Amino acid sequence: MVVLEGEAGDGKQIPTEEAEKDEAKPPTLLSLEIFRITKDAQQQHGLRHGDYQRYRGYCSRRLRRLRKVLKIPQGDRRHYRRRDVTTVHLTGTTAESRLLCVPLLQAERAWAFAMQLRQEANTEPRKKFHLISRLKKAYAHAQTLLQLAEQSGVCDARTQLEAGAYAAWLGGALLLE
């Protein structure tokens, strides 16, 4: 209980249960439905028609908007500074599940570029090498997502399992090329 003066200045005691609840609240687990997010985005932004370039553009734009909202922008072309999502971001007071979307969208963007290059590789054989490097990058981003989910300790079990499955799927796609 805290004594606060009301508008009339009567000095009544006003319970501050909300403040007490905030202090005693355990840290909440972050949850991210990776497969639902990726499949919905893929179906709505180009992959229904096999347009990987459109989906890659969507991932780039969404990544930029997300970084801006989360206050971890990388700047523009002239003022670029690399800023990755780390466990410090996830364990901070302003942690939210959208932080996990950053490496997920990076992986999706690299994967979409690789699939676009696969379509073009029929005419130019040299594109296959670029495709493999894009898949390696997608796999590296998926591994980053997995490490963030497992090592931060703030993600629920489902998110960790889906991150592991997503990384394994991209690793398999890389090994098949």
Domain ranges of the chain: 30-176
Q: Can you name the CATH fold of 30-176?
A: Hyaluronidase domain-like (1.10.3450)
Element (H, E) at 14: strand 13-14
pTM (predicted TM-score): 0.78
pLDDT tens column, 31-82: 889 999 999 999 999 888 889 999 999 999 999 999 888 887 777 767 766 6
Question: Radius of gyration (Cα) for the chain, nearest Å?
Answer: 22
Helix/strand number for the chain, H first, E second? 7, 2
* pLDDT higher than 90, residue 22: no
pLDDT bin (cut points 50, 70, 90) of residue 7 is: low
Cα–Cα distance between 154 and 131 in angstroms, integer?
34
The distance from CA 67 to its chain's CA centroid, rounded to whole angstroms, is 10
Cα–Cα distance between 59 and 110 in angstroms, integer?
9
Q: What is the DSSP letter of 99?
A: G
Element (H, E) at 161: helix 157-176
Residue reference for tokens 């687990």: 29
Distances from the Cα of 131 to the Cαs of 12, 75, 95, 152, in angstroms? 70, 27, 34, 31
* pLDDT higher than 90, residue 29: no
Element (H, E) at 131: helix 127-151
Cα–Cα distance between 111 and 105 in angstroms, integer?
10
pLDDT tens column, 103-148: 999 999 999 999 999 988 887 878 889 999 999 999 999 999 999 8
